[in-house]
Structures are given as C-alpha cells and as structure tokens.
Amino acid sequence: MILLTSYALLVSLGIMSPGPGFIHMVTQAITGTKWRIFKVVSGLAIANLFISTIGVIGGASLLLEPRTTTAVTLIGCAYLLFVAYKLFLTSAKPFHQSTVQASFASSFMIQVSNIKAILFITSAVTISINRPLPFELAMLIPMVTCGISFIWYGLVGFTFQVPMVSRFLNTHIWLINKVASVVILYLVIQLLLNIKIVF
C-alpha cells in the first residue's frame, strides 16, 4: 500500500505538470462538447496506461537506450511541430472548422510522442518497483496511472466547460490557439536542445 501511495504521489506530479497533452486538453475543452472532452481525456489516460505498462514490464531500460530515446524524441518532436502548426493555422478561423481533430487517437498520439512524459512515467515506475512484486500489485501501477490521468484531465476539461469560463475564453480562442502553438513550439525546442542525438 505504501508503494502504491508513493508511486501515485510521484506520478501525479508529472501528470499535473503542463505539457502538450495539457495544452491539447485545454484548447479542445474551451469549445468542445462533453463527448469530445471525454474522448480527449480517454486518449491521454490510455496513453499514460500504455506508457506505465511498458515501464512495469521492463521497457524503461529499452527507452533509456540512447538510440531509442533519440528516435522517440525526433518522431515526437515532428508530431508536436505538426500539432503546433495546425493550431496556429486554426487561430485565423472559427474553431469549429478546425482541422485539428479532438479525438482519442490524436490525444493518444500527442501523449505517446511526448518523450518527457514517457521518461518521467517509466522512471517513476522503475523507482517505485525496486524489488520483485506480486503480479497483482505490478498490474495496479498502470491502473493507478490511468486513474490519476483520467481524474486530472477530466477536471481540467470540465473546468473549462463552466459557462462563464467557456464564454470568456471562447471570445479569445484565436489568441489561445496562437499561445498554445507557441508554447508547444517552445517545448519542442527545449526537447531538441536537451537531447544527445545518437545514431
């Protein structure tokens, strides 16, 4: 129980820190329907479930291998640049005509392409599992990750659905999209500056 509690606290810090998934959640929640928000939240939570499962089965050591890290980072950066570009283009027209789709698949891809999320979650799993665990306990770790993700992103999404907040932000969606695309671009630049490229 202490192991799960300490893991939950550790992984909560990573999940709650703003990143591309958080930005995607906010931009979709401002004008989206509750069903759209549910799809985005599900995509982000299932991606974190997938990442933590990789950590539990020992994939963290593979992800820490320099060539794998380089490949995942470069592919992730390319996808995040695409998302930033699409967000920037949608800022000139009404959001409902956007070509950026708020769906399970796009949210899943945004989270899986975020190398910092991958490394943080798999590292948190590795730190927490420092001895052999029963199978049942090892399977609870990905479920805890998914549950925390679902609760956090759901709260964020539904907070931005509050009519007063949504109306205010809806009038400034063009600015929010531009700021979100610049923030994603900044995150990509930070990732590229901090990576040691190994081929």
Three-state helix/strand/coil letters over 108-129: HHHHHCCHHHHHHHHHHHHHHC
Using an 8 Å Cβ cutoff, are 88 and 178 in contact?
A: yes
> Which pLDDT score is estimated for 92?
46
What would you report as the CA-atom Rg of the chain, rounded to the nearest whole angstrom? 17
User: If 0-12 CB within 10 Å is exposed, 13-18 middle and 19+ buried, where does residue 181 land?
Assistant: buried
> Which pLDDT score is estimated for 38?
92
State which residues of the chain have pLDDT below 70: 59-61, 63-64, 91-102, 130-131
The single-letter code of the amino acid at 148 is I
> Which pLDDT score is estimated for 96?
46
In a domain, 100, yes or no: yes
> Which pLDDT score is estimated for 98?
44
> Which pLDDT score is estimated for 130?
64
In a domain, 198, yes or no: no
Terminal CA-CA length for the chain:
42
Using an 8 Å Cβ cutoff, are 67 and 130 in contact?
A: no
In a domain, 112, yes or no: yes
In a domain, 89, yes or no: yes
Q: Which residues have a Cβ under 8 Å from the Cβ of 19 and sit 6 or more positions away?
A: 114, 116, 117, 187
In a domain, 160, yes or no: yes
> Which pLDDT score is estimated for 171?
77
Using an 8 Å Cβ cutoff, are 44 and 155 in contact?
A: no
Using an 8 Å Cβ cutoff, are 127 and 10 in contact?
A: yes
Looking at the structure of the chain, the number of domains it has is: 1
> Which pLDDT score is estimated for 97?
38
Q: Can you give the residue range of the structural domain that contains 53?
A: 2-11+20-193
In a domain, 199, yes or no: no
Global pTM value? 0.76
In a domain, 6, yes or no: yes
Model confidence pLDDT, tens digit, residues 146-199? 999 999 999 999 988 888 887 787 777 778 778 878 888 888 888 788 877 777
In a domain, 154, yes or no: yes
